[in-house]
């Protein structure tokens, strides 16, 4: 038995996979203590006896919320003397270059808790100023005087030589605070990003440790894995020690699930669209998950490998208000899980996107959560009427306006990851999920010219299912900072091999089979003198022939035992690596300088242990007639006009069924709105595949796409 658990802003989702198949379940989130909803949900679906038997893959927003809300630990910082204010000075780049009154986020460590240490290394790790024992004792005493919950340690050039940081870690080991050292968190150059990432890890580490500790008290700690931001899963102790790696834990599960479902359905170029209660997360996958090592949360740079996800504050719980100029504003404030939207009947008073969808008939009040909860309509009508009067609008116009404003925010998010990066959204499939995704996806696809929308079965809990599709993954890196020609092929191979050996040791120590491991190599390269670099894949050789095949010389078994799956030696010459960089530079920036020297900044290895994934049932397509799946006629409002739509029970749909909009498709975890002009069919996996078409209003106005 394996269970995927995703804690969200409004609901906590569970997907159970056992001999009986796949089951889904949702429980209200408990923001005051997210672990309570997780345990309550597990007990509801497994019973008390099942807690000890289940393997749990968990995606959490605990670290993210602690950072965004600035509710983390009390942190002190130990750094090289003279560099105490790097964390506050940051970079000279300004996000808002024309805003003269821009305010930078407050650093996580105030000046009084920053302690300089008399030590210094050069860029190669050589000792310039030795760290003596008396200075170590003095620094520890000074930092403990501030009564910190956690201590971040980040010395100049410790990526090249971690000895001084290791000595401070040892000196603090029995003093009580959580200790975060940059040589463990981020052994890479760039002082500001390294100290910021290390400090964030110290800030959220104690919060995450307490949270995971509560789960470990009720569950078997050895049977819990945590979803990491890079799209892999890590053990409980790793997530506690390196909590910064879980900063995008929940959204990463959705991206993995959306990409895998799209791939299984035959579409490997997808845009994942995850609309939950608080926010919307989008990610573009052009044949593979897109990852980056540069992200920013709450205005703070975090330089750890993450799936490239763009988030905006538009969700089902996003609140509609009148702004100071008298216009309609939607989000980013959210009603959250408590009290939630007005229609939940839990004391909410602010109009939300979910309330607007109910008012317009896109939600069925009696089929929410499979009919287990009836939505409150009377309070919604009253609140929308009041807000409409304040804005000088008719209630219907206000409700449609709320949906359109939310759609505009989400459409901009998709443009950021597609058009602004050189991708045409018309070449992609929009895979939508989350509790509210199906209500908005078709209209978004129309606005962007996306030819196809795919709504997976159980779309409201897809992030939890995606966690069950994730492999154990570890990312390792080391800054080199040497010209490629000077470094040479042998030294480059040695750098990669050392990181692979470390990855193999760590994953095998977790009990994973070495024969399932594979490694991906990347190098961050730049032209000498540049201030930025590009990550370029570096192959380590041709793949080994099958054991016992005609091409097998007897070495294949030995090669597989090392889990590299590659022929020993460096197959790519220095010239080939340089050429790959020139091509990547030209693709990204439109030019390349073939005569200019290339520098190796950082080498990276991603260690991946391939694991079994849930089997999704495929069925042969039948007739197009949805038959008994059509429950009744249902009233929806489209462009200010009430029209009759079909209310369809998704659980009764079968592969091959097809229907035209307008229709409202209800299921336990979500609702899908198929507007007029769109056509929906059910594929062999049970996915809804919707051709958006054009809205009748657009056709009446001359059609076409603007």
| pLDDT one-digit tens code per residue, 38-93 | 999 999 998 888 888 889 999 988 888 888 888 999 999 999 999 999 999 988 87
Q: Coil, strand or helix: which one is 49? A: helix
Spatial distance between the Cα atoms of 107 and 93, rounded to a whole number of angstroms? 16
DSSP, res 105: P
Question: In the prediction, which pLDDT does 335 show?
Answer: 86
Candidates 410, 64, 69; CA nearest to 248 is 64
Structure confidence by residue, pLDDT tens digits, 219-262 = 989 999 999 999 999 999 999 999 999 999 889 999 999 999 99
d(CA 399, CA 380): 10
Query: Residue 468: which residues within 8 A CB-CB, separation 6 or more?
Result: 2, 4, 15, 17, 57, 613, 614
The residue written with tokens 């950082």 in the block is 602
For the cut 70, the answer to whether the pLDDT of residue 561 exceeds it is: no
pLDDT 10s digits, 290-348 = 988 888 887 889 999 999 999 888 889 999 999 988 899 998 888 877 788 999 988 88
Q: Tell me the C-alpha to C-alpha distance, in Å, between residue 87 and each of 109, 220, 442.
A: 8, 39, 44
pLDDT of residue 19: 82
Distance, CA of 419 to CA of 586 (rounded, Å): 18
Q: Find where tokens 């570890």 sit.
A: 474
The tens digit of pLDDT for each residue in 500-523 reads 999 999 999 988 889 999 999 999
pLDDT greater than 70 at residue 9: no
pLDDT tens per residue across span 656-687: 999 998 999 999 999 999 999 999 999 999 99
- CA separation, residue 692 to residues 360, 689, 698 (Å): 19, 10, 12
> Which of 265, 295, 296, 269 has the alpha carbon at shortest distance from 284?
269
| pLDDT at residue number 49 | 84
Is 121:127 a contact under the CB 8 Å cutoff? yes
Share of the chain above pLDDT 90, in %: 69
349, 342 in Cβ contact below 8 A?
yes
**DSSP 8-state secondary structure symbol assigned to residue 352:** B
**Per-residue pLDDT for 567 more than 80?**
no
Contact yes or no for 677/652 (Cβ under 8 A): no
Can you give the pLDDT at residue 539? 78
Could you give the 3-state DSSP secondary structure of residue 466? helix
The overall longest dimension of the chain from CA atoms, in Å, is 82
Q: Is the pLDDT of residue 545 over 70?
A: no
Reported as a single tens digit per residue, the pLDDT across 413-425 is 999 999 988 899 9
pTM of the entire structure?
Answer: 0.87
**Residues in Cβ contact with 425 at an 8 Å cutoff, skipping those fewer than 6 apart:** 271, 414, 415, 418, 419, 448, 449, 450
Compute the average pLDDT of residues 549-565: 37
Q: Report pLDDT digits (tens) over 181-214.
A: 999 999 999 999 999 999 999 999 999 999 999 9
Asked if 440 and 403 touch (Cβ cutoff 8 Å), the reply is yes
Sign of the CA dihedral running 144, 145, 149, 153: negative
Give percent helix, percent strand, percent coil of the chain, each to the nearest 5: 35, 25, 40
- Residue 151 pLDDT class (50, 70, 90 cuts): very high
Compute the mean pLDDT over every residue in the chain, rounded to the nearest whole number.
89
Q: Name the pairing type of β-strands 55-59 and 224-227.
A: parallel
Q: What is the CA radius of gyration of the chain?
A: 27
What's the DSSP call for residue 61? -
For CA atoms 52, 57, 62, 63, give the dihedral sign. Answer: positive
The 3-class SS string of 525-555 reads EEECCCCCCEEEECCCCCECCCCCCCCCCCC
Cβ-based neighbours of 703, under 8 Å, separated by 6 or more = 694
Dist. CA 376–CA 358, nearest whole Å:
9
| 106, 230 contact by CB (below 8 A) | no
């Amino acid at each position: 038995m394996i269970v995927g658990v995703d804690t969200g802003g409004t609901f906590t989702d569970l997907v159970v996979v056992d001999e009986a198949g796949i089951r889904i379940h949702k429980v209200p989130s408990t923001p005051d203590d997210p672990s309570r909803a997780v345990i309550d949900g597990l007990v509801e679906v497994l019973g008390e006896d099942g807690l000890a038997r289940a393997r749990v893959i968990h995606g959490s927003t605990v670290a993210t919320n602690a950072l965004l809300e600035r509710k983390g630990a009390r942190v002190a910082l130990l750094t090289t003397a003279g560099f105490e204010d790097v964390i506050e000075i940051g970079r000279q780049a300004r996000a808002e270059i024309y805003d003269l009154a821009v305010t930078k986020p407050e650093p996580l460590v105030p000046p009084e808790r920053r302690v300089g240490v008399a030590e210094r290394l050069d860029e190669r790790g050589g000792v310039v100023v030795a760290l003596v024992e008396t200075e170590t004792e003095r620094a520890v005493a000074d930092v403990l005087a501030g009564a910190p919950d956690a201590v971040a340690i980040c010395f100049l050039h410790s990526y090249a030589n971690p000895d001084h940081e290791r000595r401070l870690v040892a000196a603090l080991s029995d003093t009580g605070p959580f200790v975060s050292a940059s040589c463990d968190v981020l052994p890479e150059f760039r002082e500001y990003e390294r100290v910021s990432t290390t400090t964030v890890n110290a800030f959220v580490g104690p919060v995450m440790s307490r949270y995971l500790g509560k789960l470990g008290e009720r569950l078997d700690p050895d049977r819990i894995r945590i979803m990491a931001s890079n799209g892999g899963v890590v053990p409980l102790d790793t997530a506690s020690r390196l909590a910064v790696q879980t900063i995008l834990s929940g959204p990463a599960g959705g991206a993995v699930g959306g990409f895998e479902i799209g791939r299984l359905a035959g579409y490997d170029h997808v845009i994942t669209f995850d609309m939950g209660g608080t926010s919307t997360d989008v990610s573009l996958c052009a044949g593979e998950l897109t990852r980056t090592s540069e992200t920013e949360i709450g205005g703070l740079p975090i330089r750890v490998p993450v799936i490239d996800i763009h988030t905006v504050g538009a969700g089902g719980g996003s609140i509609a208000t009148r702004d100071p100029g008298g216009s309609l504003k939607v989000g980013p404030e959210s009603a959250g899980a408590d009290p939630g939207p007005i229609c939940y009947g839990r004391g909410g008073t602010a109009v939300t996107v979910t309330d607007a969808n109910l008012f317009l008939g896109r939600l069925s009040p009696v089929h929410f959560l499979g009919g287990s909860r009836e939505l409150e309509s009377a309070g919604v009508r009253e609140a929308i009427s009041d807000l409409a009067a304040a804005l000088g609008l008719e209630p219907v116009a206000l409700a449609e306006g709320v949906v359109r404003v939310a759609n505009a925010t989400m459409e901009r998010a998709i443009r950021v990851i597609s058009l602004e990066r050189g991708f045409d959204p018309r070449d992609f499939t929009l895979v939508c999920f989350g509790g509210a995704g199906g209500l908005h996806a078709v209209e978004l696809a129309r606005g962007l010219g996306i030819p196809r929308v795919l709504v997976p079965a159980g779309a409201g809990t897809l992030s939890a299912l995606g966690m069950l599709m994730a492999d154990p993954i570890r990312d390792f890196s080391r800054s080199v900072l040497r010209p490629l020609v000077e470094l040479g092929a042998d030294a480059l191979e040695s750098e990669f091999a050392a990181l692979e050996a470390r990855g193999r040791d760590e994953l095998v120590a977790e009990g994973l089979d070495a024969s399932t491991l594979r490694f991906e190599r990347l190098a961050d390269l730049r032209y000498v003198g540049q201030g930025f670099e590009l990550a370029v894949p570096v192959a380590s050789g041709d793949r080994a022939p099958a054991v016992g095949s005609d091409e097998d010389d007897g070495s294949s078994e030995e090669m597989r035992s090392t889990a590299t799956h590659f022929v020993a030696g460096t197959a790519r010459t220095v010239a080939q690596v340089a050429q790959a960089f020139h091509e990547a530079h030209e693709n990204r920036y439109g030019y390349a300088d073939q005569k200019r020297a290339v520098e190796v900044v950082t080498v990276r290895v991603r260690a991946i242990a391939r694991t079994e994934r849930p089997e999704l049932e495929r069925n042969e397509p039948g007739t197009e007639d949805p038959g008994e799946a059509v429950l009744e006629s249902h009233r929806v409002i489209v462009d200010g006009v009430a029209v009759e739509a079909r209310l369809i029970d998704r659980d009764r749909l079968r592969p091959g069924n097809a229907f035209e909009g307008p229709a409202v498709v209800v299921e336990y975890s979500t609702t899908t709105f198929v507007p007029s002009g769109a056509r929906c069919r059910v594929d062999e996996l049970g996915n809804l595949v919707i051709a958006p078409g054009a809205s009748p209003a657009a056709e009446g106005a001359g059609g076409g796409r603007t």
